[in-house]
């Protein structure tokens, strides 16, 4: 979420960003509501102050009216006050105060009546204002490519050689079924479309790539967390997955809880509402089950393991000082971590700069890593790295004190270190051999009992 003052100063830029990111929000409408909200808020605060002042005045007058009954000294002081005010000494004690008390009570009733109307108006305007504010996108970096979709992403580099098979290669589903590690049919029987079952070495392979990724990240200073797979709605709001991505989540039948689509939700929200010490960036990682409804993806990538409802993901998240130079450096670091994992898996890949039209609301700058998938004859997305600046930290209330003690919002970043079973597609397809077996990269062997290959039993 962006600061409203920032939005006022950059209304044209942010409207253009929203349009290019495909987010339906009117910055003009937001600013009109903001002006109404501020006017209403000022009047409400004025009336509340008036009510409080009058209430205090009533208490003072009531106390003064009782003064004659509190001893001769009090009575004499009250008489002197009456003379100073021009009142007759013959009037009954407290009469002048009663009139002023009645007048003050009338002012309180008048203020309350106005407040009853204005507070409702303020609440209504504020609710719409907030809903629009939550839709305003993060502006993108100056070097973000222009474009409308992933077809317009710009390749930055390629690593590794695409295999040239001397035989007709199989796709991952054929390989998985022949090797007895994948059963799509029974997965669909159990849970419907976009479901699968990994069995035997397939299940072990699924867990092996996760543990390899976690081990790499721990060696690089990341603290592992074991997180819930179900979290409160506010955690999704903190991280920018609500409201725009709410249709991609599975909601629980009772309560404001949802299944996560990434552990980024918990890794960032872990520090919600806190003031941190950020002399060094905080590096966190988690391996969690993830769930996505895939609304709007009907007919896309339906074959096999590419786009499924349930998967597992190792996510790395960084919380650092709110300085562009620091978070830019961290973006390169987390991307390098993901590339190292792909090199350990001995897979050819490329890194692309993501264009504005392929970015989410929260993203300021993004790299995707695409791994070669022979069955697709193309690179397919397997990793993503994003710098979201202070967008999430503002929503979540994550701050730190800079050198002069000023409170500032942190920057947050995230990266998919590995997502499986999608990574099993290139792993099986690129490492298949003519005799039907699959080569196991050396880095994975310790997690598979030293197995150097996968063969049908």
The CA-to-CA distance between both ends of the chain, in Å, stands at 54
3-class DSSP state of 436: coil
User: Active-site residue among 292, 321, 350, 399?
Assistant: 292
Active site residue 218: no
Residue 441 lies in a domain: yes
Together in a domain, 75 and 196: no
Is residue 447 one of the residues assigned to a domain?
yes
Asked if pLDDT for residue 457 goes beyond 80, the answer is no
Residue 144 domain flag: no
Q: State the total domains in the chain.
A: 2
Among 411, 158, 201, 190, CA closest to 309: 190
In a domain, 143, yes or no: no
Exactly one of 20, 194, 350, 422 is catalytic; name it: 422
Catalytic residue among 375, 384, 385, 386: 384
Residue 140 lies in a domain: no
Average pLDDT, stretch 214-228?
98
Tell me which residue of 311, 346, 316, 341 sits closest to 430, measured CA to CA.
346
Query: What pLDDT is attached to residue 103?
Result: 85
Residue 287's CB is within 10 A of a number of other CB atoms, namely: 24
Q: Do 109 and 169 fall within a single domain?
A: no
Residue 422 known to be catalytic: yes
Tell whether 142 is covered by a domain: no
In whole angstroms, give the CA distance from residue 23 to residue 170: 40
Hey, which bits of 292-375 come out as E strands? 310-320, 349-353, 365-373
CATH number assigned to the domain comprising residue 433:
3.30.930.10
> Do 155 and 117 lie in a common domain?
no
Residue 123 sits in the same domain as residue 206: no
Residues 271 and 348 in one domain: yes
- Residue 412 makes CB contacts below 8 A (sequence gap 6+) with 268, 317, 318, 319, 320, 388, 390, 391, 392, 393, 398
8: domain range?
A: 4-133
**DSSP 8-class letter at 440:** P
Residues 191 and 334 in one domain: yes
- For residues 53 and 99, state if they share a domain: yes
Q: Find, among 395, 383, 18, 25, the residue nearest to 241 by Cα.
A: 395
Respond yes or no: is residue 158 known to be catalytic: no
For the chain, the average pLDDT equals 92
For the stretch 271-326, pLDDT in tens is 999 999 999 999 999 999 999 998 765 555 778 999 999 999 999 999 999 999 99
pLDDT for the residue numbered 100: 83
Pairing outcome for strands 453-454 and 438-439: antiparallel
> Which residue among 237, 370, 381, 429 is the active-site one?
381
Confidence of residue 370 (pLDDT cuts 50, 70, 90): very high
**DSSP secondary structure letters along 149-172:** SGGG-EEEEEESPPP--SS-PPPH
CATH number of the CATH domain containing 96: 1.10.287
Burial label, 366 (beta-carbon count in 10 A; 0-12, 13-18, 19+) = buried
Token pair of 51 as six digits: 């009510």
What is the C-alpha separation between 241 and 292, in angstroms, rounded? 12
What torsion, rounded to 10 degrees, do the Cα atoms 111, 116, 117, 118 define?
A: 70
Q: What is the pLDDT of residues 381-421, one digit of tens each?
A: 999 999 999 999 999 999 999 989 999 999 999 999 999 99
Token pair belonging to 397:
């209330």
Residue 196 in any domain: the answer is yes
**176 and 99 housed in the same domain:** no
Lowest mean pLDDT among 34-38, 104-108, 358-362, 428-432: 104-108
Q: Which long-range contacts (CB under 8 A, 24 or more apart) does 277-282 make?
A: 277/400, 278/319, 278/320, 278/321, 278/400, 278/410, 281/318, 281/319, 281/320, 281/321, 281/326, 281/330, 282/223, 282/318, 282/319, 282/320
Tokens of 257: 């809880």
- Averaged pLDDT, 184-197: 95
Of the ranges 16-20, 100-104, 212-216, 350-354, which one carries the lowest mean pLDDT score? 100-104
Same domain, yes or no: 33 and 74: yes
User: Could you read off the pLDDT of 3-18 as tens digits, one per residue?
Assistant: 999 999 999 999 999 9
CA distance 175 to 182: 8
The angle, 0 to 180 degrees and rounded to 10, between the axes of the packed helices 27-65 and 11-21 is: 120
Stretch 366-372: mean pLDDT, rounded? Answer: 98
Q: In the β-sheet with 154-159, what is the strand arrangement from edge to edge?
A: 154-159, 349-353, 365-373, 378-387, 411-420, 310-320, 282-291, 223-224
The active-site residue, picked from 307, 343, 376, 455, is 307
If asked whether residues 125 and 173 sit together in one domain, one would say no
Residue 423 within a domain: yes
The pLDDT tens digits for 66-121 are: 765 544 445 445 544 554 555 544 445 455 678 888 888 888 899 999 999 999 99
Q: How far apart are CA 453 and CA 117, in angstroms?
A: 74
Cα(267)–Cα(415) distance, rounded to whole angstroms?
12
- Written as six digits, the tokens of 159 are 């690593």
Same domain? 271 vs 364:
yes
Which among 128, 104, 146 has a CA at the least distance from the CA of 29? 128
Q: What are the tokens at 342?
A: 């792909």
Determine contact, residues 356/20, Cβ cutoff 8 Å: yes
Mean pLDDT value of segment 142-147 = 97
Q: Are residues 224 and 316 in the same domain?
A: yes
What's the pLDDT at 89?
42
Q: Directed axis angle between helix 95-133 and helix 27-65, to 10°?
A: 160
Is residue 27 predicted with pLDDT exceeding 50?
yes
For the question of residue 203 being annotated catalytic, the response is: no
Domain final residue pick, 102, 133, 164: 133
- Is 307 a catalytic site residue? yes
């Amino acid at each position: 979420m962006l600061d409203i003052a920032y939005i006022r100063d950059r209304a044209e830029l942010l409207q253009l960003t929203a349009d290019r990111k495909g987010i339906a929000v009117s910055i003009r409408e937001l600013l009109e509501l903001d002006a109404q909200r501020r006017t209403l808020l000022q009047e409400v605060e004025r009336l509340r102050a008036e009510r409080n002042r009058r209430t205090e005045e009533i208490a003072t007058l009531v106390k003064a009216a009782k003064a004659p009954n509190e001893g001769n000294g009090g009575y004499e002081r009250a008489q002197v006050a009456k003379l100073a005010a021009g009142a007759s000494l013959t009037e009954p004690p407290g009469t002048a105060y009663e009139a002023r008390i009645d007048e003050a009570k009338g002012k309180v009733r008048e203020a309350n009546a106005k407040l009853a109307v204005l507070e409702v108006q303020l609440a209504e305007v504020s609710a719409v204002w907030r809903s629009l504010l939550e839709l305003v996108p993060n502006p993108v970096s100056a070097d973000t490519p222009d474009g409308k979709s992933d077809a317009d992403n710009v390749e930055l580099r390629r690593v590794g050689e695409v295999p040239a098979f001397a035989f007709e290669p199989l796709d991952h589903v054929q390989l998985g079924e022949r090797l007895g590690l994948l059963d799509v049919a029974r997965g669909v029987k159990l849970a419907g479309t976009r479901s699968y079952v990994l069995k035997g070495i397939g299940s072990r392979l699924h867990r092996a790539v996760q543990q390899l990724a976690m081990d790499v990240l721990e060696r690089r200073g990341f603290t592992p967390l074991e997180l819930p797979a179900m979290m409160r709605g506010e955690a999704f709001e903190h991280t920018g997955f609500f409201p725009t991505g709410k249709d991609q989540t599975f909601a629980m039948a009772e309560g404001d809880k949802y299944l996560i689509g990434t552990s980024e939700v918990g890794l960032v929200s872990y520090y919600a509402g806190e003031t941190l010490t950020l002399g060094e960036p905080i590096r966190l990682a988690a391996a969690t089950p993830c769930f996505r409804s895939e609304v709007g993806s009907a007919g896309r990538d339906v074959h096999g393991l590419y786009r499924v409802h349930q998967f597992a993901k190792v996510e790395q998240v960084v919380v650092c000082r709110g300085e562009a130079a620091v978070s830019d450096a961290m973006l390169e670091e987390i991307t390098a971590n993901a590339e190292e994992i792909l090199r350990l898996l001995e897979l050819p890949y490329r890194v692309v700069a993501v264009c504005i039209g392929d970015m989410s609301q929260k993203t300021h700058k993004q790299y995707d890593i695409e791994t070669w998938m022979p069955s697709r004859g193309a690179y397919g997305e397997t990793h993503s790295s994003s710098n979201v600046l202070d967008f999430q930290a503002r929503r979540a209330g994550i701050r730190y004190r800079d050198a002069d003690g000023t409170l500032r919002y942190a920057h947050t970043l995230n990266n998919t270190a590995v997502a499986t079973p999608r990574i099993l597609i290139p792993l099986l397809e690129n490492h298949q051999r003519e005799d039907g077996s699959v080569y196991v990269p050396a880095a994975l062997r310790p997690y598979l009992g030293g197995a150097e290959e996968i063969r049908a039993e």
